[in-house]
Amino acid sequence: MRAALALPSAITFVRIALFPWIAWAIVQGRFDTAVRVFMAVALTDALDGFVARRWHLATRFGTILDPIADKLLLVTVFASLGWAGTVPGWLVVIVFGRDTLILLLAGVTMATGRVRTFHPSVWGKLSTVVQAGTVVVAMVHHAHLLPEFPGGTGRVAELMYGLCALATAGSGFHYLYLWRKRLSEGGPGE
């Protein structure tokens, strides 16, 4: 039974093991490979969640590991796209800045015992979806996987960069607002 409980987490570790391959492909300019591996990673993300829910194999460790893996994926891909010069540097700074802010807020509040948990907000989840869409659009654009159309895939990528910046910054401000609110209420959180 213990081995079965570990299956979803094992799938998540396989997903994490694929991150360097995506980064390597992006830095080497092999965006078609990066897109394919990214899609495989997305499938393993869906698979570990399905296995955990279907056979009631969810564990506390898995519920912590899965969102960390998702965040590591996006950070890896944004850093690689930024390094390759295929997304604007300012966007990479916004993404990293927001994540750093969240880590600091969560760490400080948990370390002081004021808040025991730091759950993702709806805005944070929306930001993650927009970030994932942005990296897919950027990789597809640079892989030339879609035929050009009026306005071009480059224009879609530029629009996604702006939307991603707004969603990411907005969620960062929302987390800051929630943090201040929870601290001002006093006492431990959830």
29: left (phi over 0), alpha (psi -120 to 50) or beta: left
The pLDDT value recorded for residue 86 is 94
- Both 99 and 165 in one domain: the answer is yes
Residue 42 maps to a domain: yes
Residue 80 maps to a domain: no
Contact between 128 and 137 under an 8 Å Cβ cutoff? The reply is: no
- Both 92 and 163 in one domain: the answer is yes
Chain centroid, CA 185 distance in Å: 30
- Both 135 and 102 in one domain: the answer is yes
Q: What percent of the chain has pLDDT over 90?
A: 60
Give residue 43's domain range: 1-65
Residue 71 maps to a domain: no
Residue 18 maps to a domain: yes
pLDDT in tens, 154-190: 888 999 999 999 999 999 999 999 888 877 876 544 4
Residue 136 maps to a domain: yes
Contact between 136 and 106 under an 8 Å Cβ cutoff? The reply is: no
- Both 122 and 47 in one domain: the answer is no
- Both 18 and 92 in one domain: the answer is no
pTM: 0.88
d(CA 29, CA 12): 26
Contact between 127 and 95 under an 8 Å Cβ cutoff? The reply is: no
Contact between 95 and 171 under an 8 Å Cβ cutoff? The reply is: no
The pLDDT value recorded for residue 5 is 59
Identify the sign of the CA torsion 160, 123, 52, 16: positive
- Both 31 and 93 in one domain: the answer is no
152 vs 17, 77, 86, 132, 149, CA distance in Å? 34, 23, 16, 20, 5
Residue 137 maps to a domain: yes
Residue 22 maps to a domain: yes
pLDDT in tens, 18-63: 999 999 999 999 999 999 999 999 999 999 989 988 888 888 888 8
